[in-house]
């Protein structure tokens, strides 16, 4: 099973991905995690990405696609994967389709975790205050910018999958167990 999990920062996307990878024995592919790893390793790619990430803006489609291309064909993806934080632009979504076509891979479903924006902002500010700066992009101004970027660049991607009849939405204002239950319903 190949899935895409959508949701703005603070929507509980990471928690739900964790539940799904354990239940279905599939891998999570998070472009954010991959980029943070490159930053940690101090690679050229990491150096380019760091300042962009620190501002809460989007890393270029070229960088993201080069990472995805290599990742998606690894043997551990055979049983399925969850794309988390990707695709974030229409260009990425279309490029992804081209790559998947080449390898005869299909995205089964795209799940959107829907959250009320005001409550979301409260949640992410709480996360920022509790995080003790574990992530450089976890402070209120940057997080606000990330939501703006999400709306501008990423919401059109949802429209794209809606037109392909692959989009399913769950109410992300419920607790973790309830959101998880709703996702299970979509997947069975």
Binding site for ligand AMP (CB under 6 A): 9, 31-32, 35, 52-53, 56-59, 64, 85-86, 88, 92, 137, 146
Terminal Cα distance for the chain, rounded: 11
We find the least distance from the C-beta atom of residue 85 to ligand AMP, in angstroms, to be 3
Smaller CB separation from ligand AMP, 98 or 188: 98
We find the least distance from the C-beta atom of residue 185 to ligand AMP, in angstroms, to be 25
Give the Cα-Cα-Cα angle 22, 133, 46 (nearest 5 degrees): 75
User: Of 91, 109, 135, 144, which one is the catalytic site residue?
Assistant: 135
DSSP codes joined into one string, 137-184 = T-SHHHHHHHHHHIIIIIHHHHHHHHHTT-EEEEETTS-HHHHHHHHH
Active site residue 146: yes
Active site residue 185: no
Separation of alpha carbons 108 and 124, rounded Å? 30
Per this entry, what is the length of the chain? 188
Angle formed by the axes of helices 140-149 and 44-55, nearest 10°: 100
Smaller CB separation from ligand AMP, 1 or 57: 57
Active site residue 135: yes
We find the least distance from the C-beta atom of residue 92 to ligand AMP, in angstroms, to be 6
Smaller CB separation from ligand AMP, 32 or 46: 32
We find the least distance from the C-beta atom of residue 57 to ligand AMP, in angstroms, to be 6
Long-range contacts of 37-40 (CB under 8 A, 24+ apart): none
The residues annotated as belonging to the active site are: 13, 88, 127, 135, 146
């Amino acid at each position: 099973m190949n899935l895409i999990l959508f949701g703005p920062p603070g929507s509980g996307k990471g928690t739900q991905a964790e539940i799904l990878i354990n239940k279905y024995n599939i891998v999570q592919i998070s472009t954010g995690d991959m980029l943070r790893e490159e930053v940690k390793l101090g690679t050229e790619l990491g150096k380019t990405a760091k300042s962009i990430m620190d501002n809460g803006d989007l890393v270029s489609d070229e960088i993201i696609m080069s990472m995805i291309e290599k990742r998606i064909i690894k043997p551990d993806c055979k049983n399925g994967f969850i794309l988390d934080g990707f695709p974030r632009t229409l260009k990425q979504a279309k490029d992804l389709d081209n790559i998947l076509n080449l390898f005869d891979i299909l995205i089964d479903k795209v799940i959107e975790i829907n959250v009320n924006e005001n409550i979301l902002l409260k949640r992410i500010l709480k996360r920022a205050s509790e995080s003790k700066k574990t992530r450089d992009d976890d402070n209120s101004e940057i997080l606000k910018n990330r939501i703006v970027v999400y709306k501008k660049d990423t919401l059109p991607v949802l429209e794209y999958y809606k037109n392909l009849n692959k989009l399913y939405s769950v109410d992300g204002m419920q607790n973790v167990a309830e959101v998880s239950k709703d996702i299970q319903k979509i997947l069975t």
